[in-house]
Structure 1
Amino acid sequence: MKNVLFVASECVPFIKTGGLADVVGSLPKSLNKDEFDVRVILPKYMCISSEWKDKMEYVDSFYMDLCWRRQYVGILKIVLDGITFYFVDNEYYFSGPKPYGDIRYDLEKFAFFSRAVLSALPVIGFRPDIIHCHDWQSGLVPVYLNDSFRAGDFYQGIKTIMTIHNLKFQGVWDVKTIKDIAGLSDYYFTDDKLKDYDNGNYLKGGIVYSDFVTTVSDTYAEEIKTPFYGEGLDGLMRARSNSLFGIVNGIDYTLFDPKTDKLIENNYDIDNFRKEKIKNKRALQKRLGLKQDDKVMLIGIVSRLTDQKGFDLIDCVMDEICQDAVQIVVLGTGDEKYENMFRHFDWKYQDSVSANIYYSEELSHQIYAACDAFLMPSLFEPCGLSQLMSLKYGTLPIVRETGGLKDTVIPYNEYEGTGTGFSFANYNAHEMMATIRFAERIFYDKKREWNKMVDRAMACDYSWDNSAKKYAELYHRLLGF
């Protein structure tokens, strides 16, 4: 039995701001429990709901030195689905209404968290063979393991993996401040370690000092070695390419399955979707005040409304798309300009555009179930989960070929009768437009081909079991067995 500790800043069901939380909540459950004892450690944020805080058991507490300050570290735990979740308690660092706030303050908070995680291991009596770190918030764990924790026998031989969920976020501030809050010597602030131009960089430290680096799709692992996607770290990613691996995220099919989903109007599966899926479309059209029409092509968008997600492309041709025989449903929040753009088109084309500028888990499931196609033209997308959900619900994705979108959506080939969606290569509004119109043509003129594609899409397996096998292989390789 090998011990694995996940270190992360968020995790479903306790606290979530993005896809990172889904991964940290789902992957440990999917790893073989006979082979791995996987545990997870998180900050105990004040904003975790009392439903969970009330269930936490006190384990122990101690005081820890962090440079010039001495801080309280409390450890609590919950066992859920056979996995032990530990929580690091410190009200000074983890109070507040949200898990993240001002970056300067977050840097100090996660330096404290990273050191507290390592300090807590002997206290909780768990010595991991592998510490699996996620994103910049845990980037200092491999660095501290190489630094002040190097001397103790307890820590000898612990291996580390750094998983990058989105290279855009790195935890960067000036060297003097980071030295001061992290308590690291000048030795660590050279160009081949934590120094990044004139700044200190947490994620860079994690990448340099971890044994293996992973990211959340094969294509993204290749893309981040290039200047366009590398966010200033492409040289380092190329240098580490022998120990850089891409593993696509999965989704939790207990939550996302049209056969069992309690949030949708009408359940259906791969055998009966031709008759049953349409009932979800009718219900959504009615709920959102769209024109009731079974035959019209309904396109869904569930997303953060930001440049990264390709909304500048949509902005460019939205009027043209609205001239076509389609309806568009949008759910999400983000940049004000895109929120207002969708509000404008909702006002202009009331029968065919519905802008829902908020977030609702229930409505997102209903959109996946009701729509015919799902639009996701991202500039970059490390993995992406929405396209995996839409495949499962038989809602064909229209995506740009980048990162995980390229790895998971097979473009339709009308000559070979293959594919699970539609894709375009260049970041260009008219190329996107042409792809949407190609999808419309198949939807309206070749309905049998469309339904065969839905069959193939719903048959795809992007469950966590597949991804967990690949992580298990990586753990074996790292531990040499």
Structure 2
Amino acid sequence: MNGKKILFVSSELVPYLPENEVSLMSYETPRMVNSNGGQIRIFMPRFGNINERRHQLHEVIRLSGMNLVINDMDMPLIIKVASIPRERIQVYFIDNEEYFKRKATFTDEDGKGFPDNDERAIFFAKGVVETVKKLNWSPDIIHVHGWMASLLPLYLKKFYADEPLFSESKIVLSVYGQGFEGSLNSDMIKKIAFDGVPEESIKSLEDPSYNNLLKVAVDFSDAVILAAEELPNELETHISKVQKPVLPYVPIQEFEEAYLNFYNTEVLK
């Protein structure tokens, strides 16, 4: 991976959020690339239950201050940064008072998904791209983890299709079994269409369930990693029909060689 630039975009990441299959692999994969000579950047949402003082998050004024338009509303973008000390890895946090101040990640205390999770996902995708543009950092690979990051492939291929910084970037999507119950806001397809994305290219988001959201992410990615031993049958069937590189599930104890080989021989070829 010598000198290769890899952008990791994730819904969750240890040590900032509790350990699960998404947050753990979102940490282990960049750590592995970092130790193999690659250059990395990591982005995640700045959820309100992340302890800013303990993890020493601080705002990056030169990157903050722009507004993102979400469904015809101006939403201020705040960028914070922190380091994972033992790995010397820097993490960028996408923040906005309206979307991320509440002291929870995806659900309220009764376990119900927040009604604006769709807009939070749109804001996160656009916020990552706009920040990377400000950094003027052109990644060779963009590796996406977790459902709240899953609109990134769509936005890169449609909304940011003419952005030269990403013209050579390859998008890798890790698909997990861990999603959400029910569906996101039924107006999600209209909110994405507001950004000029043709509705026919995201027709499955008329019902924005976890499976349909991930199907769209698969369709607009360049390669797919099966990151869980068991996936919903509907997703497995959809992935089995795509004409793009797919890495079958590999246990975490053996993932390093498999992922490096996949990056080098299938994604960057």
Query: Normalised by the shorter chain, which TM-score bucket?
Result: 0.7 to 0.9
User: 2: distance between equivalents of 1:17 and 1:209?
Assistant: 28
Counterpart in the other structure of 1:195:
203
RCO higher in structure (CA 8 A, sep ≥6):
2
Return the match for 1:214 from 225, 236, 256.
Answer: 225
Counterpart in the other structure of 1:38:
40
Does the alignment pair 1:135 with 2:146? yes
Aligned pair in 2 of structure 1 residues 234, 119: CA closer, same or farther (>3 Å)?
Answer: same
User: Taking structure 1 as the reference length, what is the TM-score of the superposition?
Assistant: 0.49
1:328-343 superposed matches below 5 A: none
Conserved? CA contact 1:29–1:82, under 8 Å: no
Aligned pair in 2 of structure 1 residues 54, 186: CA closer, same or farther (>3 Å)?
Answer: closer
Aligned pair in 2 of structure 1 residues 50, 166: CA closer, same or farther (>3 Å)?
Answer: same
Conserved? CA contact 2:5–2:139, under 8 Å: yes
Aligned pair in 2 of structure 1 residues 114, 186: CA closer, same or farther (>3 Å)?
Answer: closer
Deviation at 1:111, TM superposition (A): 1.2
Counterpart in the other structure of 1:4:
6
Name the amino acid aligned to 1:138: A
Number of residue pairs matched? 253
Counterpart in the other structure of 1:95:
101
Aligned pair in 2 of structure 1 residues 145, 45: CA closer, same or farther (>3 Å)?
Answer: same
Q: Which runs of 5+ in 2 are unaligned?
A: 108-112
Aligned pair in 2 of structure 1 residues 234, 472: CA closer, same or farther (>3 Å)?
Answer: closer
Which has the larger Rg? Answer: 1
RMSD: 2.5
Aligned pair in 2 of structure 1 residues 215, 34: CA closer, same or farther (>3 Å)?
Answer: closer
Does the alignment pair 1:111 with 2:111? no
User: 2: distance between equivalents of 1:130 and 1:112?
Assistant: 21
Return the match for 2:56 from 48, 54, 57.
Answer: 54
Conserved? CA contact 2:9–2:142, under 8 Å: yes
Counterpart in the other structure of 2:110:
none
User: Taking structure 2 as the reference length, what is the TM-score of the superposition?
Assistant: 0.83
1:25-424 superposed matches below 5 A: 25-59=27-61, 60-61=63-64, 62-80=66-84, 81-101=87-107, 102-166=113-177, 169=180, 172-173=183-184, 177-182=187-192, 183-185=194-196, 187-189=198-200, 193-196=201-204, 198-200=206-208, 201-216=212-227, 220=230, 224=231, 229-230=232-233, 232-240=234-242, 242-250=244-252
Name the amino acid aligned to 1:97: K
User: 2: distance between equivalents of 1:186 and 1:79?
Assistant: 35
Name the amino acid aligned to 2:100: F
Conserved? CA contact 1:174–1:198, under 8 Å: no
* Percentage of matched positions with identical amino acids: 21
Aligned pair in 2 of structure 1 residues 188, 52: CA closer, same or farther (>3 Å)?
Answer: farther
Deviation at 1:198, TM superposition (A): 4.4
Deviation at 1:116, TM superposition (A): 0.8
Summarize deviations over 1:11-56 as a string: whole Å, max 9, x none: 1111126321111122211225453112210111221113345343
Conserved? CA contact 2:117–2:185, under 8 Å: no
User: 1: distance between equivalents of 2:72 and 2:5?
Assistant: 33
Q: Which runs of 5+ in 1 are unaligned?
A: 251-461
Deviation at 1:92, TM superposition (A): 0.7
Conserved? CA contact 1:171–1:202, under 8 Å: no
User: 1: distance between equivalents of 2:56 and 2:205?
Assistant: 45
Name the amino acid aligned to 1:159: K
Conserved? CA contact 2:126–2:155, under 8 Å: yes
Does the alignment pair 1:470 with 2:252? no
User: 2: distance between equivalents of 1:67 and 1:49?
Assistant: 30
Name the amino acid aligned to 2:9: V
User: 2: distance between equivalents of 1:57 and 1:74?
Assistant: 7
Deviation at 1:150, TM superposition (A): 0.9
Aligned pair in 2 of structure 1 residues 32, 94: CA closer, same or farther (>3 Å)?
Answer: closer
Counterpart in the other structure of 1:261:
none
